[in-house]
């Protein structure tokens, strides 16, 4: 569930940049670490989403706890991405921004899909004592991590040309809307 946050953050930087056009030598080691952390969080988001899609109430609280454990890994990876992207690097160059946007561009639909899956599985979680409470906490924690990372990445996005920031803000809005729908479905 926390994996959704990573997708949201990545989406904030997603532009229609072509990763092939960015030379590795144009990317500083600090930005590469950020890219690697975002990629790692995105991979864990896929693991969480797969587990959520397969979840049924018949697996009980043990199954819900397995998803929660996977979410905790995602949350840890999001925190690392926050440190690697927000603390370790300053302003980024246009080639670095292209690389970040190209890396995270594919994450927005994955984030929205994962949040949609959580929403669609609400009745399954509701059927298990305490499972919905766990999911609510995971949604809140991932939303918080995502917002922190979104704000940091938006702050580092170049403002010239304006299309970078416009696109980044559009993806952040899409992610925020998906979180809003999940929060609403769970009464958060």
Q: What is the pLDDT of residues 12-34, one digit of tens each?
A: 343 333 333 445 678 999 999 99
3-state DSSP helix/strand/coil percent for the chain, to nearest 5?
Answer: 80, 0, 20
For residue 13, the model assigns a pLDDT of 40
For residue 12, the model assigns a pLDDT of 38
For residue 23, the model assigns a pLDDT of 56
For the entire predicted model, the pTM comes to 0.82
For residue 2, the model assigns a pLDDT of 40
For residue 167, the model assigns a pLDDT of 84
Tokens of 177: 């809307």
| Tally of domains within the chain | 1
User: Is the peptide bond prior to 135 cis by the omega test (within 30 degrees of 0)?
Assistant: no
In this predicted structure, the answer to whether residue 173 has a pLDDT above a threshold of 60 is yes
In contact, 9 and 71? CB cutoff 8 Å: no
In contact, 3 and 147? CB cutoff 8 Å: no
pLDDT tens-digit readout, 98-151: 888 887 787 888 889 999 999 999 999 999 999 999 999 999 999 999 898 888
For residue 43, the model assigns a pLDDT of 95
For residue 130, the model assigns a pLDDT of 95
pLDDT band of residue 7 (cuts 50, 70, 90) is: very low
- Integer Cα distance of 34 and 41 in angstroms: 11
Which domain covers residue 62, as residue numbers? 3-185
In this predicted structure, the answer to whether residue 180 has a pLDDT above a threshold of 80 is yes
For residue 21, the model assigns a pLDDT of 45
pLDDT tens-digit readout, 43-99: 999 999 999 999 999 999 999 999 999 999 999 999 999 999 888 677 888 999 888
Taking alpha carbons only, the member of 92, 112, 96, 131 closest to residue 179 is 112
């Amino acid at each position: 569930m926390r994996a959704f946050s990573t997708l949201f953050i990545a989406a904030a930087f997603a532009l229609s940049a072509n990763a092939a056009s960015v030379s590795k030598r144009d990317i500083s080691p600090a930005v590469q670490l950020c890219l690697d952390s975002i990629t790692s969080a995105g991979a864990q988001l896929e693991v969480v989403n797969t587990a959520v899609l397969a979840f049924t109430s018949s697996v009980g609280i043990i199954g819900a706890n397995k998803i929660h454990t996977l979410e905790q890994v995602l949350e840890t990876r999001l925190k690392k991405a926050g440190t690697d992207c927000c603390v370790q690097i300053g302003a980024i160059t246009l080639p670095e921004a292209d690389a970040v946007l190209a890396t995270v561009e594919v994450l927005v639909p994955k984030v929205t899909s994962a949040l949609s899956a959580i929403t669609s599985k609400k009745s399954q979680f509701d059927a298990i004592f305490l499972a919905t409470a766990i999911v609510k906490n995971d949604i809140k924690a991932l939303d918080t991590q995502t917002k922190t990372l979104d704000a940091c990445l938006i702050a580092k996005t170049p403002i010239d040309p304006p299309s970078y920031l416009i696109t980044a803000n559009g993806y952040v809005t899409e992610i925020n809307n998906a979180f809003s729908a999940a929060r609403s479905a769970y009464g958060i």
